[in-house]
Amino acid sequence: MSGELKYPGGSKTRVNKAGARVRIGEASNEDFLVIETWRAAHRPVLNTFQAILRNRTRGTKIAVAQRHKRRNTIFGKLFRLPKMELSRMDDIAGCRLIFPSCEELQKFRKVFHSARFKHKRRNEADKYDYIKNPKSTGYRGIHDIYEYDVNSHAGNHLRGLYVEIQYRTNIQHAWATAVEVIGFITESQPKFQEGDNRYQQAMALASEVLARAHENKMGPLPELTDKEVVSSFMELDKSLSLMNMLRGLRRR
């Protein structure tokens, strides 16, 4: 059909080719344009899901946020995951829901899974359940991946683009924010297991403390006793001054 809009960036094959060239340091200006066109196309997808989620959380204590992955962050992920094809990167568009408790999180997610819309959830319910199975870094939360699907001609070229929905409690979000802060102000990236390993160990222990003390759950180190978790964290904090650093930022 004349006038039919093409897949953003031309095709999935073209997007993947541009991503592969970035990875080996041979990307052309055209490759960068392909990637930016594809990245930008996720904005209306993100806006659609953000509107759906805000409508469904209206009048509740659930916070809704959105994130459109920056180009440099996309490139960083390509370098970290050498086998990933760019068109399959499923978190370019992201919505985050932050809940007062795990119970409210699970209740909302169960209802949302039964929503009647064309967008398809790509993953099984437990696949990205990092509350049930925390990451070794200490990350806890749940992710779902949806594939955008619409009937309208105007949005037809966006079909098949992905959006990630993250579900976290306030406690889990506070921990994740602290990890991001450490990445900003030190030379280490515990989120990606890079740099001084002590930061990663400390934040895994912190996650365990928070899970047990505030949510009556286990974190990434269930084999440790409460005493071992606390003493190990305090020992690391003594050498890193992690708590003093974070408290200092709060006072600024």
Sheet holding 120-121, edge to edge: 63-68, 93-99, 162-169, 142-147, 120-121
Mean pLDDT of 135-158: 92
Give the phi and the psi of residue 138 in degrees, each rounded to 5: 105, -5
Q: Are the beta carbons of 164 and 94 closer than 8 angstroms?
A: yes
Position with higher pLDDT, 190 vs 70: 70
Cα of 42 vs its chain's centroid, Å: 15
Q: How far is CA 229 from CA 11, 189, 211, 213, in A?
A: 50, 22, 12, 11
Mean pLDDT of 128-156: 93
Any residues with CB less than 8 A from the CB of 62 and at least 6 apart, and which? 97, 98, 99, 100, 104, 108
Distance between CA atoms of residues 122 and 116, nearest Å? 15
Position with higher pLDDT, 249 vs 150: 150
Domain end residue (candidates: 169, 193, 212): 169
- Asked if residue 158 and residue 193 are part of one domain, the reply reads no
Domain end residue (candidates: 113, 144, 169): 169
- Mean predicted lDDT score pLDDT of the chain: 94
- Asked if residue 242 and residue 227 are part of one domain, the reply reads yes
**Max mean pLDDT range (65-69, 189-193, 240-244):** 65-69
- Asked if residue 214 and residue 188 are part of one domain, the reply reads yes
Q: How many domains does the chain have?
A: 2
Give CA torsion, residues 205, 211, 212, 217, to 10 deg.
-130
Q: Are the beta carbons of 225 and 212 closer than 8 angstroms?
A: no
With 80 as the cut, is the pLDDT of residue 71 above it?
Answer: yes
Q: Which domain holds residue 65?
A: 41-169
Return the closest-CA partner of residue 57 out of 111, 131, 93.
111
In a domain, 26, yes or no: no
Mean pLDDT of 224-229: 98
Any residues with CB less than 8 A from the CB of 82 and at least 6 apart, and which? 23
In a domain, 74, yes or no: yes
- Asked if residue 136 and residue 187 are part of one domain, the reply reads no
Mean pLDDT of 107-113: 98
The pLDDT value recorded for residue 127 is 98
- Asked if residue 243 and residue 129 are part of one domain, the reply reads no
- Asked if residue 180 and residue 165 are part of one domain, the reply reads no
Q: Would you mind telling me the total number of residues written for the chain in this entry?
A: 252
In a domain, 13, yes or no: no
Confidence at 251, pLDDT banded by 50, 70, 90: low
Domain end residue (candidates: 169, 193, 217): 169
Query: What CATH number is given to the structural domain containing 72?
Result: 3.30.460.10
With 90 as the cut, is the pLDDT of residue 155 above it?
Answer: no
pTM of the model: 0.92
In a domain, 31, yes or no: no
Q: Are the beta carbons of 79 and 10 closer than 8 angstroms?
A: no
The letter for the amino acid at 90 is D
Pairing between strand 120-121 and 93-99?
unpaired
- Asked if residue 148 and residue 182 are part of one domain, the reply reads no
The pLDDT value recorded for residue 27 is 98
Confidence at 245, pLDDT banded by 50, 70, 90: confident
- Asked if residue 185 and residue 165 are part of one domain, the reply reads no
The pLDDT value recorded for residue 2 is 44
